[in-house]
Amino acid sequence: MTEHTELKEGCAAETETGDARKVRSARSPRLKAELEKAKAEIERLNAELEERVRLYQRLQADFDNFRKRTASRQEELSGLIKEEVILQILPVVDNLERALQASETSDDVAALAEGVAMTHRQFCAILSNAGVVPLEVCEQQFDPAFCEAIMFEENSSAEDGMVVQELQKGYKMGERIIRPAMVKVARSETSNK
């Protein structure tokens, strides 16, 4: 390589470096502006995120307070319902206590039986007012949704699976069974074989 060629290549390298500096310096304000814009956007998004986190925390606290208030109201309502039921039952207890006192001083069994029957009717009326009604299961086909079979009886006069005796009444409130009836169910002699 000649001296002239080396000088020419050195000048070209210097020119490229100078051009690159010009391009870089021309881009620099634009990059700085984009960087500032990006930083501003990040700050805005961080502020928005912080606001949403605060909103979420407020909503969570409001929900927790709502849940506590609801639980407290349910407990209060449950207590009021129990109190109402007890207030309706107390006259029945009073009548039973009077019947017991009367049985100690009187030999009139018929009057005592009438007093107990009146108290029973009073108690049944309280249950009826609360929507509690006895299940009708005698002489019906056994249904495990309403009955609990605790005995079987071989019976040729009753249809197989028929309830022949109610040993303890069952009750429902609305459509909900609150206590199934305990029953004796007929079993034909042929179903045992």
Domain boundaries in the chain?
Answer: 133-193
Question: Residue with structure tokens 């995120």?
Answer: 49
Residue 7's pLDDT is what? Answer: 47
Q: Domain 133-193 sits in which CATH superfamily?
A: Head domain of nucleotide exchange factor GrpE (2.30.22.10)
Q: Supply φ then ψ for residue 102, to 5 degrees.
A: -65, -35
Q: Mean of the pLDDT values across residues 150-155?
A: 89
- Tokens encoding 45: 């998004």
* Cβ-contact 178, 172 below 8 angstroms: yes
CB 111 within 8 A of CB 102: yes
**49 pLDDT exceeds 50?**
yes
pTM for the model:
0.57
> What pLDDT score was predicted for residue 166?
94
**Cβ neighbourhood burial of 76 (10 Å; 0-12, 13-18, 19+):** exposed
Those residues with Cβ within 8 angstroms of residue 183's Cβ, 6 or more apart along the chain or in another chain? 137, 138, 142, 147, 148, 149, 150, 151, 163, 164, 165, 166, 167
In this structure, of 3-17, 67-81, 96-110, 123-137, the range with the lowest mean pLDDT score is 3-17
Going across the sheet that includes 147-154, the strands are: 147-154, 181-187, 163-168
**pLDDT category of residue 24 using cuts at 50, 70 and 90:** low
